[in-house]
């Protein structure tokens, strides 16, 4: 059964309007990360999130191109990942894109993947 897509409200981050929700993964320590695929280019996605988040972010890899926007303080004792948005180029080295086999219409390739890591929920009693 497909997982329902998260909302911008539950994520705490904007989601590119034409991005397709692919799935989420357990990140540990009560966090999940959420993957979205888009047909837009890596450069367009980095520019989009720079504008919306009002943050430059950091290019952490050139090959494959990966850009991270860390939005919030990382607390090692309660987080597996810092809250934020990561953009990754899946057309690197001639690839046709990230292959997602779970779609209703069959496998689909996405040139760019957006990974969103929300802040974990507050501990009970806070």
Instruction: Please list the pLDDT of the chain residue by residue as tens digits (126 residues).
Output: 678 899 999 998 999 999 999 999 987 777 889 999 999 999 999 999 999 999 999 999 999 999 999 877 766 666 667 788 999 999 999 999 999 987 666 689 999 999 999 877 666 655
At 27 the pLDDT is 79
At 2 the pLDDT is 72
Burial class (CB within 10 angstroms; exposed 0-12, middle 13-18, buried 19+) of 8: exposed
Q: How far is CA 68 from the centre of its chain?
A: 9
Give the span between the Cα atoms of 23 and 100, in whole angstroms.
10
DSSP characters over 19-45: PEEEEEEEEETTEEEEEEEESS-HHHH
At 126 the pLDDT is 55
At 77 the pLDDT is 66
At 119 the pLDDT is 77
Question: What is the reported pTM?
Answer: 0.87
């Amino acid at each position: 059964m497909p997982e329902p897509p998260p909302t911008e409200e539950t994520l705490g981050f904007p989601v590119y309007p034409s991005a397709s929700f692919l799935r989420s993964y357990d990140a540990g320590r009560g966090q999940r990360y959420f993957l979205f695929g888009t047909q837009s280019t890596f450069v367009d996605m980095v520019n989009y999130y720079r504008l919306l988040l009002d943050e430059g972010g950091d290019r952490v890899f050139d090959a494959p191109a990966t850009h991270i926007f860390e939005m919030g303080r990382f607390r090692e004792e309660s987080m597996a990942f810092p809250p934020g948005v990561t953009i990754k180029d899946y057309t690197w080295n001639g690839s046709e894109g990230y292959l997602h086999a779970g779609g209703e219409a069959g496998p689909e390739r996405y040139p760019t993947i957006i990974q969103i890591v929300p802040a974990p929920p507050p501990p009970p009693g806070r």
